[in-house]
A and B are shown apart, each in its own frame.
Chain A
Amino acid sequence: MGSITLDHVNKAFGDVQVIPDISLDIKDGEFVVFVGPSGCGKSTLLRLIAGLEDTTGGTIKLDGADMTNAPPAKRGLAMVFQSYALYPHMSVRDNIAFPLKMANTPKDVIAQKVDYAARTLNLNDYLDRRPRALSGGQRQRVAIGRAIVREPKAFLFDEPLSNLDAALRVNMRLEITELHQQLKTTMIYVTHDQVEAMTMADRIVVLNAGKVEQFGTPLELYRKPANRFVAGFIGSPKMNFIDGQDAARYDAHSIGVRPEHFQLSRESGTFTGKVAVAEQLGADTFLHVNVERLGLITVRTGGDETFENGETVHLTPDPQRIYRFSADGTALSHGQA
């Protein structure tokens, strides 16, 4: 069991309000990702849930029990740190066994659980090594192993993949997702990488300046962003924003069109511009088109067509996929042109 409820939680460091007021309801077994730019308060929020920081106000409940002032050890949560935070002076085996040892678990039970965790995570061959003799990916697995042996109510991940290289990151992403499907334990995962958020999460919390901008499933966020911030943060390449008279035509302060929602034509279209840079990725091509009045617009198109720099192209936004925003950035009902 592992439902987590935040009720009007706020946190200030001195005079600085890091988190003004957040309420969240995380269901048991859910994989929730906190995503946002650096400094948005996502790590602080995670540390509040962990009990490594205390709240300035509000309550945190685990499985309905008030844990706001409980020390981390009493909350029954496990955490995987960005730096892995392995104990350098202990072998992999002792690292994984540490939380059990702290709970005075009998030796044979410890051995059994460590063995199970090692098998799950393919660490059998490394149990007697020290962390420093392991690769980044292996260290990451040890950190996860240390977390799972405790059978916690929930796992907390603090940007666990940011120290790995790109290829490994994709692998570990899959492994963590698989682990979640296997264990069905609540997981909270903090990242600044929206791709990780989109691929792993059941639901995503988009944070900005300590506020929840939106809380929903990945596709909800992609399809119905609540505001301009979420629209710009979710999706890659980023959504194009258009202000001024071109937006006014759609009866909005600004409009947003994703790169994949433009129709590209060599003959005619709503906007006309010159190709500034064409990034050929093979499967896709990203065109950065210099459109008069609008500046650089990114367009995603198939990888088969080729474009010359300086070539004139015409862009037409898909009328069903135009996002309209008011002056304060709130999304207006979308899709009508």
Chain B
Amino acid sequence: MATRQTRALARTMMAPAVVLLLLWMIVPLGMTIYFSFQNYNLLNPAMQSFAGWFNYEFFVTDPAFVQSMVNTLLLVGGVLAITVIGGTLIALLLDQPMFGQGIVRILVISPFFVMPPVAALIWKNMLMHPGYGIFAHIARFFGISPIDWFAQVPLFAVILIVAWQWLPFATLILLTAMQSLSEEQLEASEMDGANAFNRFFYIILPHLARAITVVVLIQTIFLLAIFAEILVTTNGGPGYNSTNLTFLVYRTALLNYDIGGGSAGGVIAVILANIVAIFLMRAVGKNLDT
């Protein structure tokens, strides 16, 4: 609803953003796809040649690939389970009347603002260190021998750290969604004889469904790309025990200089992310119409 002149201006004003993002998307992605069909190693750059599907075969048949896929799924699934269930419970708690709600809120959301390397280092050294970490102290206090987290359960340790970082995000969004539930609706259900349990399952949870979907999808996008936490704590090990897809690509391309192999892994990661993205876009897109 405007004049042709305004519309023409509008297109001009939008152009820089569109052009930049278009280039940002197409150029590197195109190059990644190209490299994924090349034999190209930075240690021997002169030997570049067409490789066909070799890089994909090589990457996919590498035992590390299967393990990294499993790890990726476990990492994403584990963190999602902890954050969504924990987030719902904490949001429910924060939505209750209490003293100092504002401060508690700040305490709860703080971990989200901690940069990943710092989060990982604090957990690795001061909490999970088998000798001097707080967890080891607590274990010894109860007479249990402390766990060497990153040697015995490296992936689980990483999951815990990442979950700690993302729990605030889930909590905050679910709390916001919860607060948009009208008080009257809850009161009406109370008048209708619903107890707290019924209110949660028949009123609150359905109301949260959309927010939970959004949390799951957005977190998935970020969780598929977890990198720094692994780099800082386990470096993917021991062996490939805590290597996810992102880390495997990093290792192949930037540590082993295998550009072709890394690119093939990158393309696989893009496909994986796109599957999630399609669902996320649908959820967000619905919002545009309202």
Most buried by A among B2, B3, B4: B3
- The DSSP consensus for interface residues of chain A is loop
User: A193-239: which have CB < 8 Å to B?
Assistant: none
CB closest residue in chain B, given A47: B1
Which residues of B31-82 are within 8 A (CB) of A? none
B12 contacts chain A at the CB level, 8 A cutoff: no
Contact B5 A52 (CB under 8 A): no
**Does A251 reach chain B (CB closer than 8 Å)?**
no
Q: Mark B65-105, 1 if CB is under 8 A from A, else 0.
A: 00000000000000000000000000000000000000000
- Quick one: closest A residue to B3, CB to CB? A54
Q: Which of A14-54 contact B (CB under 8 A)?
A: 51-54
- Total number of A residues with any Cβ neighbor in B under 8 Å: 7
- Complex Cα–Cα for A71 and B6 (A): 9
> Chain A residue with minimal CB distance to B5?
A71
* Residues of B in contact with A, size category: under 10
What is the CB-to-nearest-CB distance from B7 to chain A, in angstroms, rounded to a whole number? 9
Q: Mark B1-32, 1 if CB is under 8 A from A, else 0.
A: 11111000000000000000000000000000
CB under 8 Å from chain B, chain A span 34-85:
51-54, 69, 71
CB nearest to A54 among chain B residues = B3
Smallest CB gap from A13: residue in B: B1
Residues of A within 8 A of B1 (CB): 13, 53
> Contact: A53 with B2, CB < 8 Å?
yes
Q: How far is the CA of A69 from the CA of B2 in the complex (A)?
A: 12
From residue B1, how far is it (CB to closest CB) to chain A in Å? Answer: 7
Expressed in whole angstroms, the Cα–Cα distance for A71 and B9 within the complex equals 12
Question: Which chain A residues border B3 with CB–CB below 8 Å?
Answer: 51-54, 71
Chain A residues near B2 (CB-CB < 8 A): 52-53
Residues of B within 8 A of A51 (CB): 3
Residue of B nearest to A48 (CB): B3
Chain A nearest CB from B12 CB (Å) reads 15
Residues of B within 8 Å of A52, CB to CB, are 2-3
Bound together, the chains give a CA A69 to CA B4 distance in angstroms of 9
What are the residues of chain B within 8 A of A69 when measuring CB–CB? 5
Q: Please name all residues of chain B whose beta carbon is closer than 8 Å to the beta carbon of A13 when the two chains form the complex.
A: 1
CA distance A52 to B1 in the complex (A): 8
Q: For B5, what are the chain A residues with a Cβ–Cβ distance below 8 Å?
A: 54, 69, 71
A108 shortest CB reach to chain B, Å: 34
The answer for the CA separation of A53 and B4 in the assembled complex, in Å, is 8
Q: Which residue of B lies closest to A44 (CB)?
A: B1
A13, A51, A54, most chain B CB atoms within 10 A: A54
A58–chain B nearest beta-carbon distance, Å:
15
A53 — which chain B residues lie within 8 A by C-beta? Answer: 1-3
Please give, as numbers and ranges, the residues of chain A lying within 8 Å of B4 by CB-CB distance.
54
Which chain B positions have C-beta within 8 A of A71?
3, 5
A81 to chain B, nearest CB (A): 14
Report the nearest B residue to A72, measured CB to CB.
B3
Distance, CA A52 to CA B3, complexed state (A) = 6
Q: In the complex, what distance in Å separates the CA atom of A79 from the CA atom of B142?
A: 78
Q: Report the minimum CB–CB distance from B165 to chain A (whole Å).
A: 38
Give the CA-CA distance A323 to B41 in the complex, in Å: 94
- Complex CA gap A69/B3 in Å reads 9
Query: CA–CA, A13 to B7, complex, Å?
Result: 14
Q: In the assembly, what is the distance between CA of A13 and CA of B1, in Å? A: 9
Q: With both chains docked as a complex, state the minimum distance between the C-beta of A147 and any C-beta of chain B, in angstroms.
A: 21
Residues on B lying within 8 angstroms of A by beta carbon are 1-5
Give 11 A-B pairs besides A54-B3, A69-B5 with Cβ atoms closer than 8 angstroms: A13-B1, A51-B3, A52-B2, A52-B3, A53-B1, A53-B2, A53-B3, A54-B4, A54-B5, A71-B3, A71-B5
What would 13 A/B residue contacts be, using CB atoms closer than 8 Å? A13-B1, A51-B3, A52-B2, A52-B3, A53-B1, A53-B2, A53-B3, A54-B3, A54-B4, A54-B5, A69-B5, A71-B3, A71-B5
Top 4 A-B pairs ranked by shortest CB distance?
Answer: A54-B3, A54-B4, A71-B5, A53-B3
